[in-house]
A = this chain, B = another copy of it.
């Protein structure tokens, strides 16, 4: 009998997870009305539902925050609940780290920690926090289906009905993915909502995936992370934007793309209806976008440049504008945006031809990182989109245009563009001999340095000096020479060999503005389609309603 191979063990239970879940839920059943838990009971419910050592996925998203649940979790008795393993996209709020200060949580796997990056570094040094790993978003979700499946998911939505069906509104973001990983492996899903209602505008997540609903004490927190005030865009950024449009978008015929959130990419968005139109490029470039609804994209949309935008999340103030532009944005039958971080990251990885983003530091090989001394900021979505996806098999003209080998087996390449003004505002060089990330990684005992974008994945580097077409460089030495040739007055740039640089220009591996027909003197703020948030709102016909902090009129 074959089963005899499996010897010496008592009959195995194959539903331990389900039985454990049932026991936990039974303990809070007396407090529930259907799936609804009274808000006042949330802390004591968490003390029963969460067990020490659990993996807890906390929606700390990129934008929206399950802050009622995170604040409540920070209030549980750490003698009862401790050593949690937190899975969180973005460490964004004070109480996320209070969990570690109190000992409620011990270990964290995360993708981004912008606002809290200093405290993360401090807690790590104080041995109050242990890092599992730092991820790009989708990697963390991927492991939720492999070896980091959550025991508990704490998520948020705008509305729920009595059956637990959720309406996320425009910020669907990561919620369906986290819920799917948890609900279908006998984890417990708790959703905070702004309100209970009889009829939802639409269903974003089916009620049968949700165990408990609790009404938050106040609407979930959300930050306008993708609003860039055009008033702050400077002329160097405009010059770089002009070079990108001429030297990259036009030259490679880039029709589908993702933009980062820097002021330099905002400049590009605002140059399309003016400088781009003057080059006759409307309809030829920048048609299909994967990005959040950047307000600075409004003039290009209104001018008819944009066929479609699929979004990771939404952006505060853009709700009515999106609702009025359903041909461009992905919206539900209720009219509001449907975003989805996993699907937009998938589209941004495999479905578009170009990623362009900014960096805080770049080394002579083109490696870059936003992790700098004393800051553990993480990577966000950049690594997933900022590399050449080797699983890609379909061709587009832009992808094919990067082929340099002459062989019977070749493949094209994604355009991965890194923007870097050679100096930061404070006078610190951006292009440096060695990334701070290398030392930070050593200090934190990381197995490899926390690099955001690797140099060998970068196809183009753009500074205010010019463009280095790294994909054409033959070998690492030539790649270094090309980067040095656009590194300006940084120590790296000062080492550039003028004769080598001239050779690279002749061979089209380096181009300065004059080589691509861009006149430095044209790089004026008057070239921006909108020069203020007020003008963006005017372009939208008043549909874009910027948050108060951006209003000056």
The segment from A41-49, A298-306, A417-425 that touches chain B is A298-306
Look across to chain B and name the residue whose beta carbon is closest to the beta carbon of A535. Answer: B2
Interface residues on A, range: 35 or more
- Given known A394-B133, A400-B447, A411-B448, contact A327–B15 (CB-CB < 8 A): yes
A256, CB-defined interface residue at 8 Å = yes
Residues of B within 8 A of A140 (CB): 394
The answer to whether B135 touches A394 (Cβ under 8 A) is yes
Instruction: Verify if A290 is at the interface (C-beta below 8 Å from B).
Output: yes
CB contact between A384 and one of B133, B391, B400 (< 8 Å): that residue: B391
Contact partner of A3 among B326, B392, B538, CB < 8 A? B538
Task: Check if A204 is an interface residue, CB within 8 A of chain B.
Answer: yes
> Does B142 lie within 8 Å of A351, measured CB to CB?
yes
- How would residues 434 to 477 of chain A score, 1 for a CB under 8 Å from any chain B CB and 0 otherwise? 11001000000011111100110100000000000000000000
Q: Measured between alpha carbons, how far is A347 from B185 in the docked complex, in Å?
A: 15
Classify the secondary structure of A's interface with B.
loop
In the bound complex, CA of A340 to CA of B384 (Å): 20
CB neighbors of B among A114-150 (8 A)? 132-136, 138-147, 149
Chain A residues in contact with chain B, CB under 8 A? 1-3, 5-6, 9, 12-18, 109, 132-136, 138-147, 149, 165, 177, 180-181, 183-186, 202-208, 255-256, 273-274, 277, 287-288, 290, 299, 302-304, 307-308, 310, 324-328, 330-333, 338, 340, 342-344, 346-347, 349-352, 363, 365, 367, 379, 383-395, 400, 403, 408-412, 434-435, 438, 446-451, 454-455, 457, 529-530, 535, 538-539, 541
In the assembled complex, the Cα of A140 lies from the Cα of B139 at a distance in Å of: 20
A327-B14, A346-B141, A539-B3 given; A256·B302 CB < 8 A: no
- Selected from B16, B290, B338, B351, the residue in CB contact (under 8 A) with A184 is B338
Q: What separation, in Å, do the CA atoms of A438 and B342 have in the docked complex?
A: 34
Q: Can you show 29 pairs from A to B with CB atoms below 8 A apart?
A: A1-B538, A3-B541, A14-B326, A14-B327, A18-B326, A132-B394, A133-B393, A134-B393, A136-B391, A136-B393, A138-B346, A139-B392, A140-B394, A141-B346, A142-B349, A145-B347, A147-B351, A185-B330, A342-B342, A349-B391, A384-B391, A389-B389, A393-B450, A393-B451, A395-B446, A400-B447, A408-B434, A409-B451, A412-B447
Interface contact A390-B391, CB-CB below 8 Å: no
Please indicate the chain B residues that have their CB under 8 angstroms from the CB of A388 in the complex.
390
Which residues of B lie under 8 Å from residue A273 when comparing CB positions? 5-6
With a CB–CB cut-off of 8 A, which chain B residues contact A288?
A: 146-147
Does the CB pair A145–B6 fall under 8 Å?
no
Chain B: CB-nearest residue to A343? B145
Residues of the B chain whose Cβ atoms lie less than 8 Å from the Cβ of A3: 302, 538-539, 541
Q: A347 contacts which chain B residues (CB < 8 A)?
A: 142-143, 145-146
Residue of B nearest to A363 (CB): B409
- State the CA gap A393–B389 with chains docked (Å): 14
CB distance from A87 to the nearest CB of B (A): 12
Given known contacts A185-B330, A186-B326, A390 and B18 CB-to-CB distance under 8 angstroms: no
Contact of B146 with A352 in the complex, beta carbons under 8 Å: yes
| Contact across chains for A346 and B343 when beta carbons are under 8 A apart | no
* Whole-angstrom CA separation of A338 from B350 in the bound complex: 25
User: Closest residue to A378 on the B side, CB-wise?
Assistant: B393
Known: A347-B145, A411-B448. A340 touches B180 (CB 8 A): yes
- Shortest beta-carbon distance from A286 to chain B in Å: 12
Contacts of A165 in B (CB 8 A): 206
CB within 8 A of A304: which of B12, B17, B181, B330?
B12
B residues near A451, Cβ cutoff 8 Å: 393, 409, 411
- Please tell me if the beta carbons of A146 and B302 are within 8 angstroms of each other in the complex: no
Q: In the complex, which residues of chain B have a beta carbon less than 8 angstroms from the beta carbon of A256? A: 146-147
Docked complex Cα distance between A454 and B388 (Å): 14
B393 touches A390 (CB 8 A): no
> Are A310 and B346 neighbours in the complex by a CB distance under 8 Å?
no
Of B138, B203, B310, B351, which contacts A208 at CB under 8 A?
B203
- Tell me the complex Cα distance, A448–B288, Å: 24
* Cβ B185 vs Cβ A438 within 8 A: no
When distances are taken between beta carbons in the complex, the residues of chain B under 8 Å from A183 are 332-333
Q: A203-B207, A411-B451, A538-B1 are in contact. Are A139 and B395 (CB under 8 A)?
A: no
Query: Quick one: given A273-B5, A447-B400, A529-B2, are A310 and B146 in contact (CB under 8 Å)?
Result: yes
A2-B539, A207-B203 as given contacts; A146 in contact with B391, CB under 8 Å: no
Q: Which residue of B lies closest to A176 (CB)?
A: B176
Residue numbers in B under 8 Å from A383 (CB-CB):
390-393
Chain B proximity of A196: nearest CB distance (Å): 18
A299 to B4, CA, bound (A): 11
